Structure 1
């Protein structure tokens, strides 16, 4: 009996340690249920404009708190488990994801005047309520 309890306990510890290891290596997109994936590439002038105009405050915005940014180079590597309607062909492309599944996208950078209204509309159409808490 003691041998079976010891074996059972060892199996439980092994299973729990495996689950912990899996949690530590979970793809970054799983850190939040809704993410905004920005597909960019080195040398993209529109990506640089977004970085300068929107990037510094995005995480503090209502949209950024609702859908934290996940940046991916157009050439990869791509996060495991992402399900897209089609491969991005231009940068920047902003893809709204819920649990890794595409809900909507904006191709190109519309400028600092229109970025947030376009993003808010995409979120509204996808049924993603924008967090208003601070």
Structure 2
């Protein structure tokens, strides 16, 4: 239990610091990663992608938020369908689901799928 709490705090710090440049100004898009404790594919994503996510174009357009799947859907978003598997990455724009990636196979597959999703984001208006 204690290791799980420590891991979530450390992951939160990495996500927070990696997304700092993206927090200036209003963000229309957000990538929400639904995860579960003990999820091997969630850990692989955290090792492969998380350290650089906030420095990428996609990370700038859609900062990452981690949500424990057992906590349910955050109140500030509306999903097109329930999330049943971890990890599931849901791209949200102004609180509404734009699309999702279910599962994590590799960083190459993730970046390709995410690029197609972030192309659907509306540009921020002044």
Is the TM value for this pair above 0.5?
yes
Distance 1:127 1:60 in 2: 18
Moved more, 93-102 or 111-120: 111-120
Unpaired segments ≥5 residues, structure 2: 1-25
Q: Which of these residues, 48, 65, 69, is aligned with residue 70 of structure 1?
A: 65
CA distance in 1, matches of 2:77, 2:42: 22
Aligned structure 1 segments of 4 or more residues deviating by more than 6 angstroms: none
Change (3 A) 1:61 1:77: same
**Which runs of no fewer than 5 residues in structure 1 stay unpaired?**
1-30, 130-134
SS, match of residue 36 in structure 1: strand
Alignment of 1:1-134 (within 5 A): 32-124=27-119, 126-128=120-122
The structure with the larger Rg is 1
Give the structure-1-normalised TM-score: 0.68
Q: State the superposition RMSD in angstroms.
A: 1.5
Q: Secondary structure at the match of 2:81?
A: coil
Q: Does the residue aligned with 1:75 lie in a helix, a strand or coil?
A: helix
Question: TM-score, with normalisation over the residues of structure 2?
Answer: 0.72
- Alpha-carbon shift at residue 78 of structure 1 (Å): 3.4
